[in-house]
């Protein structure tokens, strides 16, 4: 007993220990799976940003507003990422941003991460446009989930131009989310952490597999699990540690102790009982058994039994006697229960059960039959005959059937017409069998099955089948039926009329054999999957009539399947669609011609419905930043400048109500918010009933022409104003000059005459300067403004100062500006002004900056600068030590096209002239390519 107890206890404790270990392994694996799921999720997020057109344009420098439009704090919050890094093809950082989720602020990207982004880093892999890299990095002892995807077009065309890298810190909050439950304490420890036990490190390094695991008890109350995670370089990165209570083992020890105590107690109790039984009952058993047998023989209770305990011959005898008595009593009860069950079954079944004697008098009928034929117990007692309920023409047939059953033949289950008391007629199948008692036939037992509804449905089905046959033959479409393998079983007359093939020629043939070989093979390849899946199929195909004519047929087939999804065949129709197909081909050819014209026109073609919603737009809308899909189904006024919408809608309403074509001009906003001047010509669309249903129109961009007109108008105004001012100034100067001449002639003092002659000479120089200025200013606005390349203009101007000993730094890209042709004079005046007044100038820089207001071109030198009180006065006419006209003329030339200039330098640190070019008056260009963007 002791050996068994020890063996069972050891087995139970070992089982609980293994169960405890399996639960720890399960929790540990759950954590690793969640980490992998987070890594896959992060890789999926990166895949939404790498293969993306605007990311691609940003990396190659063609979308400067990408960061402000996409990489805002809300983006980091929504994506649950802590940093995003975008590099270009060379590996240089195009963007690097980090986000602190606790303070909801942007923070610097860790330098430890940026230092690892070299060509050897797996995250910088650009060899495969569809490639991806994901895994874990350790940054300053903190594990980070990272993922990267190459920057390519959304359709993965072209070569990668960089990578998008995203990361998420596995901090304590993230660990709490990954924890499998509140009972488990979870943390991630760097693999190089000295606090890791040597035993754990050794076992994890020796464990095979990509994610080695090691489980060890901490003490009698807690058990720990460890798993090694490797980083993206394949090196040991961190160890996942789970600590949880040893509840399972504690429960196992408690259960084992209880088991031992129960076993010991049971054995002790059994020993006592055996001793008492042997001592007290062995000698008295025989007399007790004899007395019970005598009492049983005189008793009349069927349930009375012998009562004798023990395990010897006497108790066995008593048991056998009791079993015999029980069997007798059980047989009696079964007979009683069987009769009750038969009666209950017969009473509750919806069928009619009956018993009758050999001449047809009813002896029993169940409740269903009694209710249907209104038969009472009194009727049965009086001996009502079954013939009373049969129609007269069925009586002879019933008697022949009963005679056959009496002769030993099985009941054929014949159908009879029965009459119910309310006059209704029942069609029923009757099965009978013999009732025997003591070897003698005393009657018949039978069951009646009501077939009235079934026969009615059968007759209705036959009638409907005839009707359907007539409909099929009169159908205006060809109808056919096939077996499961596609062989023809039936066609109607219209099928033959359409195809010219009689039923005798097509019966049993495969349906596709009537098609031309090329069309047959193509159609079977297309429909193979639908046929395999037993789906409804519809398809068009050519068909060659036996007379040689080519037809187009449309066929539709429906599978016939059983309730267990077994295919029994197919039924389908064919329709001659030759006329419709010819119309479709003609329409397609017409549409192709129209589309070719629309796609190659420099103008935008459009259509709207009667509510002004765009229903079609030509692809030329792309140059305004929109895809056709973004414009269609939207109101046309949405794309019109707000101040012009009311006038445009009034014109559209007049056109739709009056029916006359209109011409209008308005301003339109492109996708970047820039304004374009548009001419619109349109005509109404009417339906077949003459009702106006929309508008067709053409949009033509005349922005450059409008700008030129505005610039010339402004220049003319300025010239007229300046001419009036200059004429007034010259007349004033001449008046003063004449006054000095008169005073010089009148004076007799030589010194006074000498002073007056000097004043006359200076006044003459003033007139000379005013006349020279008009010569320069008369060219302003004479020629229409045009697009001019700033880099080329700066290069041309710098040549004029090559001998000045001053260094020039041209940091301007290929930018074109819409300005007066005298723009070159602007840059000449700025450089000349810097050399004249800047004193010790070593370098002049040209560069640009972009803001929401537009593009700022900056000319900056390292001279003495300009005092704050003169920053505005230097642009006034006549201010300066030379002619005083240079900066005044510069400002006037720029203002022709709305460009402003101001001086923003610091006195003592150099002059800084900033020319602000508004949106719409600049654009970036690339060498030997079309313009990529217009400002």
Q: Is the pLDDT of residue 330 over 80?
A: no
pLDDT of residue 148: 93
| Tens-place pLDDT, residues 754-765 | 888 888 887 787
φ/ψ of 599, rounded to 5, equals -75, -20
Confidence class for position 932, pLDDT limits 50, 70, 90 = very low
pLDDT of residue 857: 94
Q: Is the pLDDT of residue 727 over 80?
A: no
Q: Is 687 exposed, middle or buried (0-12, 13-18, 19+ CB in 10 A)?
A: exposed
- In the sheet with 843-851, reading across from the earlier edge strand, the strands are 807-810, 843-851, 854-861, 912-918, 900-903
| Tens-place pLDDT, residues 132-190 | 899 988 888 789 999 999 999 988 888 899 999 999 988 777 777 777 777 787 888 88
pLDDT of residue 721: 47
Question: SS3 for 616?
Answer: strand
Q: Is the pLDDT of residue 847 over 90?
A: yes
Confidence class for position 916, pLDDT limits 50, 70, 90 = very high
pLDDT of residue 873: 84
pLDDT of residue 816: 92
| Tens-place pLDDT, residues 667-726 | 888 887 778 888 888 888 888 787 888 888 888 887 777 776 665 666 565 555 456 545
pLDDT of residue 860: 94
Q: Which residues contact 831 (CB under 8 A, 6 or more apart)?
A: 797, 798, 800, 801, 844, 859
Confidence class for position 256, pLDDT limits 50, 70, 90 = confident
Q: Is the pLDDT of residue 247 over 80?
A: no
- The owner of tokens 């033949």 is 409
Task: State the helix-helix crossing angle for 313-348 and 285-298, rounded to 10 degrees.
Answer: 40
50, 127, 151, 757 from 54: Cα distances, Å: 10, 21, 10, 72
Q: How far apart are CA 143 and CA 140, in angstroms?
A: 8
Q: Which residues contact 905 (CB under 8 A, 6 or more apart)?
A: 860, 865, 866, 911, 912, 913
Q: How far apart are CA 884 and CA 892, in angstroms?
A: 14
- The owner of tokens 């008793």 is 299
Question: SS3 for 426?
Answer: strand
Mean model confidence pLDDT for the chain:
82
| Tens-place pLDDT, residues 424-469 | 888 999 999 999 888 889 999 999 998 888 888 888 888 877 777 7
pTM reported for the whole predicted model: 0.33
**Stretch 280-306: mean pLDDT:** 66
DSSP 429-497: EEEEEEEEETTEEEEEEEEEEE-HHHHHHHHHHHHHHHHHHHHHHH-SSEEEEE-TTSBEEEE-HHHHH
| Tens-place pLDDT, residues 64-108 | 899 888 989 989 988 989 999 999 988 889 899 999 888 889 999
Q: Would you say 865 and 910 are in contact if contact means Cβ atoms under 8 Å apart?
A: yes
DSSP 634-673: SBGGGGB-HHHHHHHHHHHHHHHHH---EEEEEEEE-TTS
Q: Would you say 847 and 858 are in contact if contact means Cβ atoms under 8 Å apart?
A: yes
pLDDT of residue 598: 63
142-150/213-217 β-pairing: unpaired
pLDDT of residue 493: 86
**Stretch 383-401: mean pLDDT:** 89
Choice among 270-274, 382-386, 402-406 with the minimum mean pLDDT = 270-274
């Amino acid at each position: 007993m002791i050996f068994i107890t020890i063996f069972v206890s050891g087995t139970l404790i070992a089982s609980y220990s293994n169960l405890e270990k399996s639960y720890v392994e399960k929790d540990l694996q759950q954590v690793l799976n969640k980490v992998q799921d987070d890594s896959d999720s992060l890789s999926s997020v990166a895949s939404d940003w790498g293969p993306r057109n605007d990311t691609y344009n940003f990396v190659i420098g063609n979308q400067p507003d990408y960061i402000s439009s996409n990489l805002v704090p809300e983006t980091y919050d929504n994506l649950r990422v802590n940093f995003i890094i975008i590099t270009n093809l060379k590996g240089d950082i195009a963007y690097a941003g980090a986000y602190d989720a606790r303070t909801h602020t942007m923070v610097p990207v860790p330098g430890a991460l940026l230092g690892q982004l070299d060509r050897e880093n797996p995250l910088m892999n650009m060899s495969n446009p569809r490639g991806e890299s994901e895994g874990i990095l350790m940054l300053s002892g903190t594990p980070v989930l990272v993922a990267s995807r190459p920057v390519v077009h959304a359709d993965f065309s072209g070569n990668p131009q960089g990578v998008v890298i995203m990361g998420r810190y596995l901090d304590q909050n993230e660990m709490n989310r990954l924890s499998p439950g509140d009972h488990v304490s979870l943390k991630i420890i760097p693999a190089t952490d000295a606090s890791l036990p040597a035993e754990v490190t050794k076992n994890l390094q020796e464990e095979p597999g990509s994610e080695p695991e090691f489980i060890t008890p901490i003490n009698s109350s807690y058990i720990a699990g460890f798993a090694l995670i490797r980083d993206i370089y394949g090196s040991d990165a961190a160890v996942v540690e789970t600590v949880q209570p040893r509840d399972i083992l504690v429960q196992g020890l408690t259960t084992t102790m209880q088991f031992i105590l129960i076993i010991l107690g049971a054995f002790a109790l059994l020993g006592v009982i055996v001793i008492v039984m042997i001592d007290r009952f062995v000698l008295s058993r025989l007399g007790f058994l004899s007395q019970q047998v005598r009492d049983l023989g005189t008793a009349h209770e069927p349930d009375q039994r012998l009562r004798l305990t023990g395990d010897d011959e006497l108790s066995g005898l008593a048991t056998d006697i009791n079993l015999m008595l029980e069997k007798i009593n059980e047989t009696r009860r079964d007979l009683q229960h069987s009769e009750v069950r038969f009666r209950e079954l017969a009473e509750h079944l919806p069928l009619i059960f009956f018993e009758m004697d050999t001449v047809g008098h009813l002896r029993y009928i169940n409740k269903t039959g009694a209710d249907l034929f209104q038969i009472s117990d009194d009727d049965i007692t009086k001996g009502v005959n079954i013939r009373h309920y049969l129609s007269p023409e069925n009586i002879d047939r019933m008697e022949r059937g009963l005679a056959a059953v009496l002769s030993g033949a099985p009941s054929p289950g014949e159908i009879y017409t029965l009459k119910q008391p309310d006059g209704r007629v029942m069609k029923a199948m009757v099965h009978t069998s013999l009732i025997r008692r003591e070897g003698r036939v005393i009657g018949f037992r039978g069951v009646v099955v009501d077939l009235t509804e079934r026969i009615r449905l059968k007759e209705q089905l036959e009638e409907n089948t005839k009707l359907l046959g007539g409909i099929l033959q009169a159908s205006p479409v060809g109808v056919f039926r096939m077996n499961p393998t596609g062989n023809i079983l039936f066609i109607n007359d219209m099928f033959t009329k359409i195809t010219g093939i009689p039923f005798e020629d097509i019966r049993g043939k495969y349906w596709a054999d009537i098609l031309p070989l090329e069309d047959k093979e193509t159609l079977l390849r297309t429909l193979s999957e639908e046929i395999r899946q037993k789906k409804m199929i519809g398809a068009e195909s050519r068909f060659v009539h036996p007379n040689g004519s080519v037809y187009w047929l449309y066929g539709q087939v429906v599978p016939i399947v059983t309730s267990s999804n077994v295919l029994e065949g197919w039924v389908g129709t064919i329709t001659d669609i030759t006329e419709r197909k010819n119309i479709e081909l003609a329409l397609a050819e017409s549409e192709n011609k129209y589309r070719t014209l629309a796609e190659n026109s420099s103008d935008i073609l459009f259509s709207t419905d009667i509510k002004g919603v765009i229903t079609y737009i030509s692809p030329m809308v792309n140059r305004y930043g929109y895809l056709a899909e973004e414009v269609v189904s939207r109101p046309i006024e949405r794309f019109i400048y707000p101040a012009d919408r009311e006038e445009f809608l009034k014109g559209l309403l007049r056109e739709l109500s009056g029916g006359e074509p209109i011409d209008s001009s308005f301003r339109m906003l492109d996708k970047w918010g820039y304004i374009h001047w548009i001419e619109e010509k349109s005509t109404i669309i009417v339906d077949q009933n003459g009702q106006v249903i929309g508008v067709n129109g053409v949009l033509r961009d005349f922005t450059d022409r409008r700008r030129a007109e505005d610039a010339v108008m402004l220049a003319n105004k300025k010239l007229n104003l300046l001419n009036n001012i200059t004429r007034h100034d010259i007349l004033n100067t001449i008046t003063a000059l004449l006054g000095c001449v008169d005073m010089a002639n009148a004076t007799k003092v030589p010194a006074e005459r000498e002073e007056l002659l000097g004043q006359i000479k200076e006044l003459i120089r003033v007139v000379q300067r005013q006349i020279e200025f008009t010569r320069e200013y008369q060219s302003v606005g004479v020629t229409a403004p045009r697009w001019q390349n700033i880099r080329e203009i700066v290069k041309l101007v710098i040549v004029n100062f090559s001998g000045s000993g001053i260094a020039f730094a041209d940091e301007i890209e290929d930018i074109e500006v819409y300005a007066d042709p005298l723009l070159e004079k602007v840059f000449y005046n700025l450089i000349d002004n810097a050399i004249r007044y800047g004193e010790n100038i070593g370098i002049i820089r040209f560069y640009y900056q972009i803001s929401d207001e537009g593009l700022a071109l900056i000319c900056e030198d390292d001279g003495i600068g300009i005092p704050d009180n003169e920053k505005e006065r230097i642009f006034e006419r006549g201010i300066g030590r030379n002619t005083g006209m240079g900066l005044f003329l510069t400002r006037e030339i720029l203002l022709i096209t709305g460009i402003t200039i101001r001086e923003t330098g610091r006195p003592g640190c150099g002059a800084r002239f900033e020319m602000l070019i508004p949106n719409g008056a600049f654009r970036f260009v690339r060498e030997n390519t079309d313009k990529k963007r217009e400002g």
